[in-house]
Amino acid sequence: MQRSNITRAHASLEMALWQVEADTVTSSDLYARLRSVGLAPEIAIRLKELAAVTKKIGDKLVSLGKIILIKLMNFIEQHPNLAAGVALGAALSLLTASIPILGPILAPVVAVVGIAVFAIVGHHLDKNDGQQTQQIPEAMELAQDAVEIARIFFQLFIDTIQAIAGELSDQRG
């Protein structure tokens, strides 16, 4: 995985920019954005509650929940088919769980397989600008897509944590 080394100054700048963005977004705006991507009202309300989470870093109060939600929404908007694939896999798991007797046993397997398969298909569609291809991807290409999904998704969190850690070390130093 590609490692991004950011300086303390860059981390402080990133945190300041993220905080400014978080300050300009209201909880109602976040709720509307969550609903616009198709989330159920119950899920959107639960995620909106995350927006209230703050953390004191040094002498600054950081809207950590809002920052995470904004970054997550940006990711979903940049990768809509991937997000839809994950949602479809999760829905399939919930449907499987409702099957009497075998459902609770099969649901975890269906969740892992369904989310992985539909996420890869969604990512493949995102890479090809939504154009379906007639060829079935080879196993190696599917593995590369899975690694690419993980890299893209986790790079967002790595950058966020590095920026926060840089900000914390600035406050201590």
Q: pLDDT tens for residues 7-29?
A: 767 777 878 888 999 999 988 88
Q: Which residues contact 63 (CB under 8 A, 6 or more apart)?
A: 19, 22, 23, 51, 53, 54
Based on the number of CB atoms within 10 Å of its own CB, is 53 exposed (0-12), middle (13-18) or buried (19 or more)? middle
pTM over cut 0.85:
no
94 vs 173, residue with greater confidence: 94
Q: What is the pLDDT of residue 21?
A: 92
Range among 25-39, 98-112, 137-151 rated most confident: 98-112
Q: What is the pLDDT of residue 24?
A: 93
Report helix, strand or coil for 11. Answer: helix
Q: What is the pLDDT of residue 90?
A: 83
Q: What is the pLDDT of residue 3?
A: 46
Q: Angle at CA 132, nearest 5°, toward 113 and 78?
A: 70
Q: Region 26-49: what's the mean pLDDT?
A: 84
Q: Region 140-169: what's the mean pLDDT?
A: 72
Q: Are 14 and 169 in contact (CB under 8 A)?
A: no
Mean pLDDT score of the chain:
79
Residue 67: pLDDT above 70?
yes
Q: What is the pLDDT of residue 170?
A: 62
